Structure formats: C-alpha cells, structure tokens
C-alpha cells in the first residue's frame, strides 16, 4: 500500500514538472503551469515592454496580472476626472514593487495592460497609482492568469476612461 501511494505521488509530481513549459523572450523568461504563467522580467528592462511582449507572444487577450519586484525608475499616472486627462510623475531611487495588479484587455483592437502599483521607498513610505512604466532594478516577478477569449474595453467619452464592453 505504501509503495502504491509513493508511486502515485512520484508520478503526479513528474507529470506536473513535465507539463511545465519554459519560455523566453528578449526581456523575460517564463514558466507555463496548468492555469498561469510565472514571468521573470530581466534586470533593467521596462515592465510594460516586457509584460506586453510576453502577453502578445502568448496571444493572451484577457486576464489578470500580479507581481512584485524592485525598480529605480517609475512613472505613475493619476487620472483627473475634471480634465479627463492623466497627470504623470516620475520617481527615481531604489523602490520595492510591493504590489502590482492589473488586467489584460483589448482597446481598439490593440492589446492593453491596465496596471496599478504600490512602491515602497527607503524611508518606508509608499507611492501608489496607475503604472505608466518602470524599469526593473533587481527582480521582477509576475504571475499572469489568462482568461479564455477576448475582453474589449471602449472609451466612455463622458467619463474619459475605457470601460469593459461585454457586447463586443
């Protein structure tokens, strides 16, 4: 009985390891698991460029992104509802990406990553906002959870933002 249980466990682990697929691009390396991708963005690479390249290469048209890491150069955006425009601000200096979360969708037939981030500074204060981009300085570790099919966002002119349009 013990041998049968041991054999079943070894077979399950071996099957899982064999089913994992290793991928690589210019700015990233990744491992595909059953339901997600684990993505490592290379040091000094743009988070947005690397993740967009990865998602595009895997033909992911909708999904969720989470991540952590470090950066020394980040540009955040804040949406001003009165002007219907984003205000950008660049931050320099070593910071921890303590949380990155976002989604993947299509806008005007183009891939769009909508990312928000919280950055921890050396003095233990935090910055947060919409992530325009950041350069990895150290590690960049992300999980991408694809959804089947495509999700479309359309600009709402009254508000000035893109919203999901589930009819498309």
Could you read off the pLDDT of 12-47 as tens digits, one per residue?
444 444 457 999 999 999 999 999 999 999 999 999
pLDDT for residue 6 is more than 60: no
Give the span between the Cα atoms of 133 and 64, in whole angstroms. 17
CATH code of 22-165, in short, is 3.30.1330.80
pLDDT of residue 146: 98
Measured between alpha carbons, how far is 81 from 59 in angstroms, rounded to an integer? 33
- What is the mean predicted confidence (pLDDT) over 77-93? 96
The predicted model gives 90-103 an average pLDDT of 98
Contact by Cβ (8 Å): 20, 28: no
What pLDDT shows up at residue 129? 97
For the chain, give every domain's residue range: 22-165
- Contact call for residues 120 and 99 (beta carbons, < 8 A): no
pLDDT at 14: 44
Helix (H) or strand (E) holding 15: helix 2-19
Can you give the pTM of this predicted structure?
A: 0.86
Distances in whole angstroms, Cα of residue 163 to Cα of each of 23, 97, 115, 155, 167: 32, 26, 14, 6, 12
């Amino acid at each position: 009985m013990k041998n049968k249980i041991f054999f079943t466990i070894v077979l399950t682990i071996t099957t899982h390891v064999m089913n994992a697929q290793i991928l690589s691009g210019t700015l990233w390396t990744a491992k595909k698991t059953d339901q997600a991708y684990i993505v490592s963005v290379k040091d000094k690479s743009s988070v947005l460029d690397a993740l967009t390249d990865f998602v595009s290469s895997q033909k992911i048209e909708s999904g969720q992104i989470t991540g952590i890491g470090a950066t020394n150069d980040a540009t955040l955006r804040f949406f001003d509802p009165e002007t219907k425009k984003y205000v950008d601000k660049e931050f320099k200096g070593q910071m921890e990406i303590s949380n990155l979360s976002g989604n993947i969708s299509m806008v005007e037939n183009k891939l769009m990553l909508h990312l928000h981030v919280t950055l921890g500074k050396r003095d233990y204060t935090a910055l947060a906002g919409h992530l325009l981009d950041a350069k990895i300085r150290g590690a960049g570790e992300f999980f991408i959870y694809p959804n089947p099919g495509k999700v479309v966002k359309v600009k709402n002119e009254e508000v000035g933002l893109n919203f999901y349009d589930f009819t498309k």
